[in-house]
Structure formats: C-alpha cells, structure tokens
Amino acid sequence: MTEPTATPSAPGNPQHAAATRRVNPVAAHPITSIAIFVLVTAAILGTLIVPIYARITPKLGDFPFFYWYQLIYMPVVALVLWITMLLQRRLRRPDDTGTTGTASDPVAGGVR
C-alpha cells in the first residue's frame, strides 16, 4: 500500500478559491461594526424620540428649547456621521476602492 500524500493546511496557489475567499468586513471587525451601529442608531433616535425636545421650556431669549435643540443637534449629528464614515473606511480592505467598475471593464459600470 502507498501512503497518502500530506496536504498543506493553506493552499500554495494564490489563485486557489480558499486563498482568494472574501472575508466579510463586519465579521472581521465586530467592535468597529458595533460602534458604527450605535452611533448611527443614536443619531436617528435623537429625532425619533420626540419628548426629548418637544418642550417650550427652557427658553433662551424668545426661542423655545426645540430650536436650540435643533441648532445643537445638527452639528453633533454631522460630527457623529463623519466619525462613522472614518470607521467604515477601516472596515475596507486596502484593495477595495469602493468603485463599481473600471474604465477597462465596461460591464462592471465603467466608461462605455
């Protein structure tokens, strides 16, 4: 009888399916993904939970609290969404460009 040949645990051919398999970025970075989820959810809930800002008092001058809440909330949401955009960039692999196609590949969405 002949002995079976040993197979390596990782394929040596870079074109092999196991070597080129795409890894889900959310599964690869769970803490970053959770942080993005929490930040975006907090930004959305800040406008959906109306009793937080649907008050007349306290007033500053002639303006009720609602207007001051809006003036403060919008820049805060812009900052939070900018932070989430930076976190999403960390989820991408270096070879991901974020484009759908190239100029030489008209089928994938490039120039025709």
pLDDT digits (tens, 9 = 90+) for 96-110: 555 555 555 455 555
DSSP letter for each residue of 5-30: PPPPSS-S-TTSTTTSPPPPHHHH-H
pLDDT digits (tens, 9 = 90+) for 4-16: 555 555 556 666 5
55 domain-assigned: yes
d(CA 78, CA 97): 24
Residue 112 has pLDDT above 50, yes or no: no
pLDDT digits (tens, 9 = 90+) for 60-97: 788 888 888 888 999 999 999 999 999 988 877 666 55
pTM over 0.85: no
pLDDT band at 42 (very low <50, low <70, confident <90, very high): very high
Per-residue pLDDT at 107: 53
Type of residue at 97: T
Q: Which two tokens stand for residue 78?
A: 């812009």
51 domain-assigned: yes
85 domain-assigned: yes
More confident residue, 41 or 23: 41
109 domain-assigned: no
9 domain-assigned: no
- Domain count along the chain: 1
68 domain-assigned: yes
72 domain-assigned: yes
Domain containing residue 29: 25-92
